[in-house]
Structure 1
Amino acid sequence: MDGSGSGGGELPSEQLTSRSDQVPRFRGRMRRSEVECRQDIDSFAPGLLALFESLKPSEEHKSRQKQLVDSLAKSVGKEWPSARMHLYGSCANSFGTTHSDVDVCLEMEIGTESTVDVLLKLSDVLRADNFDNVEAITGARVPIVRMTDPASGFSCDICINNLLAVANTKLLKDYAQLDQRLLQLAFLVKHWAKQRRVNETYRGTLSSYAYVLMCINFLQLREPKILPCLQAMEPTYTLTTDGTECAYFDKVDQLQDFGAENKDSIAELLWGFFQYWAYRHDYRHDVISIRMGKTLSKQEKNWTTRVGNDRHLVCIEDPFETGHDLGRVVDRQTIRILGEEFERAAAVLQYDDDPCVTLFEPYDYEN
């Protein structure tokens, strides 16, 4: 993997050393993109699909989530009867697991009040209605109220008028309806990232959201293509918020057979995903873009040099907030960790006798 940069937020050297010891380099066995997928790869599909099913939220989880939303709607409705409540993020975009908490956006007219004032008032309302651990976090990039619902046990973050996140959630949910292999791939990749400790942005690795975009783009790039590029089609959904236009083709029921010509199994796609990110992606020059359904050049995005804390070593364009690089947190040390983990995953799927187990073995900093 290519990449250069420097700066704070890097992992302690002992953690880097221990990971290098645990993650052997496979370049000697896998010569970049020339390697062909093992012939028995499809035999592992049933095990991977069983794992996928186990990661999906249960009906009980969905029921408890609805319980929280109903309780919250009652509290909010007393003070702001015209407010509209939107679920957003992983709890609503189809990519959430049983461990996903609830993110809520309140769409409301706040008049001359500031967002912070409204959130402080909201926190008072929630405390009065006996929600637990209510805290207004007003200094965040998106100010929120965080609370816990004692009835469901869920934690919940509430923001005001963050409609960009609502549109983003809808886009991902619509992509999820196009081909079941997207959900299967994204759940498995997210689980792998969690087990291998490479889904922690505060440590300089990638967010779960970034991995979902990587999966969508990967399926847009397959031949034959498995997913279309919804933003490149005549828009049937448009929302303009804070000067950003969110527009795409959302009549996904008309595209149900789009990827039918591609017969790749989930096992082959998972191998292909890690093979791509270990050996085929051009880290020095390329930006992945689900907005365009292809890769763009860093030069055209002007993401060639570090600006502030944005390093642009792994470039993942946000589909609506196109100036936002989801990979900006990756530094010159954590890009090496990601590279080693992508290589390990590709090699496990290529050579291991039981890849469904080995691939997801937890990484432990202590050993």
Structure 2
Amino acid sequence: METITFFISLLVLFASLYYFFCKIIPSPRQQVAGYQLPLGSTGWPIIGETLEYLSTARDGVPEKFIADRRKKYSDVSASSAAATEGSCKALTRARVPIVKLMDPVTGISCDICINNVLAVVNTKLLRDYANIDARLRQLAFIVKHWAKSRGVDETYHGTLSSYAYVLMCIHFLQQRRPAILPCLQGMRATYSVTVENIECAFFDRVDKLQDFGSHNRETIAELVWAFFNYWAYSHDYANTVISVRRGRTISKREKDWTRRIGNDRHLICIEDPFETSHDLGRVVDKHSIKVLREEFERAAEILQYDANPCVKLFELYVPSVLPFH
């Protein structure tokens, strides 16, 4: 009993000291530029926001904690984003707000977002597709590396996201004859979860599908050329939507994606497999669709005619500079 009393007294003392130093005496960082900074900046993060987050999580509403903090400190986030250089950038106005990071030594980059549960389910779907046939992982790696090299992988510049390119690869392999990938959402569901009122269900016992694409003997080299050739010359941009969920293309009319609505332009349509009202190509405008199609054509021509295509295919894109008059 004495031991319990001692620990309770110690906890009360610790909490009192925290309140004194972090609440009554603001730290210099909390007073910078007149902004109210999050409590973690005081140096006491585990007692500050963490306990409140755990409390809301216990009550089943952790998203309220995130929404409240985003609203409370939005000015700080915007200011930080404006002052950040290269290696760290906060995209606070994105559809899903993220922080983009890059290690200046290795050049490895990553995105961080919070409480985006649907992205976890999306990732599981992509991983399950990748575990069916190794050619998907290889094709997606090459396409993503090409997109990064050529500067067409940034949605905030009007091009496509890494996620969109992977869906394009899955769709492409679903369309090969014989097909290399099945349509997991068109099969009997063995995995099902509801996220934000969106039902996510698909067949995930992919160990039973290891031989699905074995009748298609195309090499990764042949598939890379065919992928770029399809997007350069065969895809019907004006009338169709690629749908991994259906395992085929569907009509823009069916989705009511035939015209611009607000900032959604629907010039290249890629349906999200779960959030089906979301077009991943909605950010592409009249200028960037031209750039994308020219890049697809360039890649297809290089792969068909160049004796050593890898060097030129992944050549870093350098914007042309107009001469000064």
- Does the TM-score normalized on the shorter chain lie above 0.5? yes
CA contact 2:181–2:212 (8 Å) conserved in 1: yes
Corresponding residue for 1:214?
168
Check if 1:235 corresponds to 2:207. no
Among candidates 109, 112, 123, match of residue 157 of structure 1? 112
For 1:115, the aligned partner's letter is I
Contact kept in structure 1, 2:181 and 2:213, CA below 8 Å: yes
Aligned pair partner of 2:265 in 295, 311, 328: 311
How do 1:247-266 residues align onto structure 2 when only pairs under 5 Å count? 247-266=201-220
1:79 equivalent in alignment to 2:51: yes
Whole-angstrom distance in 2 between the partners of 1:190 and 1:136: 22
Equivalent residue letter for 2:112 = D
Partner deviation per Cα, 1:199-243 (whole Å, 9 max, x = no partner): 121121111111000000000000000000000000011111111
Q: Which residue of 2 aligns with 1:173?
A: 127
Q: For residue 282 of structure 1, report the CA deviation from its aligned partner.
A: 0.3
The CA distance in 1 between the partners of 2:109 and 2:304, in whole Å, is 39
Aligned residues: 260
Length-normalised TM-score, structure 2: 0.71
- Which residue is equivalent to 1:298? 252
The unaligned stretches of length 5 or more in structure 1 are 1-73, 84-105, 123-132
CA distance 1:197–1:141, shift in 2 (3 Å): closer
Q: 1:155 to 1:191 in 2, by over 3 A?
A: closer
- Structure 1 residues 236, 75: CA separation in 2 closer, same or farther (over 3 Å shift)? farther
| Distance verdict in 2 for CA 1:359–1:115, change over 3 Å | same
The aligned residue for residue 234 of structure 2 is: 280
1:220 and 1:303 mapped to 2: Cα distance? 23
> 1:334 offset after TM fit, Å?
1.2
- For 1:135 and 1:362, locate their aligned partners in 2 and report how far apart those are by CA, in whole Å: 22
Correspondent of 1:182 among 128, 136, 144? 136
Is 1:115 matched with 2:66? yes
1:353 maps to amino acid? A
Partner AA of 1:273 in structure 2: F
Contact 1:107 1:163 in 2 (8 A): no
Equivalent-residue separation in structure 2 for 1:214 and 1:324 (angstroms): 15
| Cα distance change of structure 1 residues 261 and 82 upon mapping to structure 2, 3 Å threshold | farther
On the 8 A contact 2:53/2:62 being kept in 1, the answer is no
Change (3 A) 1:361 1:253: same
In structure 1, what is the Cα distance between the partners aligned to 2:240 and 2:225? 21
Q: Secondary structure at the match of 2:286?
A: coil
CA contact 2:98–2:111 (8 Å) conserved in 1: no
* Structure label with greater radius of gyration: 2
Q: 1:119–1:145: 8 Å Cα contact kept in structure 2? A: no
The verdict on how the C-alpha distance between 1:329 and 1:143 changes in structure 2, with shifts beyond 3 A counting, is closer
More helix by share: 2
Structure 2 CA distance for aligned equivalents of residues 190 and 107 of structure 1:
39
Report which structure shows greater RCO (CA 8 Å, sep ≥6). 1
Give the direction of change, closer, same or farther, for the CA distance of 1:107–1:334 in structure 2 (3 Å limit).
Answer: farther
**Alpha-carbon shift at residue 116 of structure 1 (Å):** 2.5
| Kept in 2: contact 1:178–1:256 (CA 8 A) | yes
**Equivalent position amino acid for 1:208 in 2:** S
Deviations 1:284-318 (A, max 9, x none): 10100100010001010110000001010000000
**Equivalent pair of 1:244/1:321 in contact (CA under 8 Å):** yes
Q: 1:75, CA displacement in angstroms?
A: 9.7
Task: State the partner residue of 2:20.
Answer: none
Where does 1:121-160 land on structure 2 (aligned, <5 Å)? Answer: 141-142=95-96, 157-160=112-115
SS for the counterpart of 2:299 is: helix
Render the CA deviation track for 1:31-63: whole Å, top value 9, x for unaligned. Answer: xxxxxxxxxxxxxxxxxxxxxxxxxxxxxxxxx
Relative distance call for 1:136 and 1:192 in structure 2 (3 A) is closer
Q: Give, in whole Å, the separation in 2 of the partners of 1:362 and 1:146.
A: 21
**How many Å separate the matches in 1 of 2:119 and 2:164?**
14
The residue aligned with 1:50 is: none
Match of 2:302 in 1: 348
TM-score (norm 1): 0.63
SS in 2 for 1:159: coil
| CA RMSD between the two structures | 3.4
CA contact (8 A) 2:100 2:109 kept: no
Instruction: For 2:51 and 2:279, locate their aligned partners in 1 and report how far apart those are by CA, in whole Å.
Output: 37
